[in-house]
Amino acid sequence: MASSTINAITSWTLIAECPIPEDINEVLANGEVPHVAFKTLRDSAVFTNKRLIIRDAQGLTGKKVEMYSLPYTSINMWSSENSGKVLDMNAELELWTRAGHFKLKIGKDLNIRAIDRLISNCVLGSD
C-alpha cells in the first residue's frame, strides 16, 4: 500500500501557484504557517514552515479529500533541476526521505529555484 502512495506522489506536477486551500487550516499544528500553495491537475500542494502537505481530492465529486504530510525533518537530501530549453518543459524536484524517494515535476511557469530556496530555509531552520 505504501509503495502505491509513493508512486502517486511522484507523478504529480505542480502547475501554478494558487490560493492556500481553506481546509488546510484544519490540519496545521500550533505555530505552523502555510507559505505557498500550488495547483496540480485537481489537487494542491502546500508548503508550510514545517512540512509539505499534499491535498488529494478523490472520487468523481472530489468531496473526499486525503491529506499527505511530509515533515521537512524527514528529508535527508534533495535536488532540483531546471527545465531545458527544448522539449523539456518541466523542472524537477527530488526529495530523499525516511519514507522513500519522491519526485515532483515543476511546471514551466514556476520558479524552481524559489521552491528550492523555500525547502532549504525550512529544512535548514531558516523559515
- Kindly report the CATH number assigned to the domain that includes residue 12: 2.30.29.50
Q: Is pLDDT above 90 for 37?
A: yes
CB 34 within 8 A of CB 23: no
pTM: 0.81
For 73-126, write each residue's pLDDT tens digit: 999 999 988 866 655 567 888 999 888 888 888 888 898 899 999 999 988 876
DSSP-derived secondary structure for 34-100: EEEEEE-SS-EEEEESSEEEEEEEETTT--EEEEEEEEGGGEEEEEEE---SSS---EEEEEEETTE
pLDDT in the model for residue 31? 95
Instruction: Give the strand order in the sheet containing 100-106.
Output: 13-14, 100-106, 91-97, 75-81
pLDDT in the model for residue 8? 42
Domain extent at residue 26: 2-124
- Structural domains of the chain, count: 1
Tell me the Cα Rg of the chain. Answer: 14
For 49-67, write each residue's pLDDT tens digit: 999 998 887 777 777 878 8
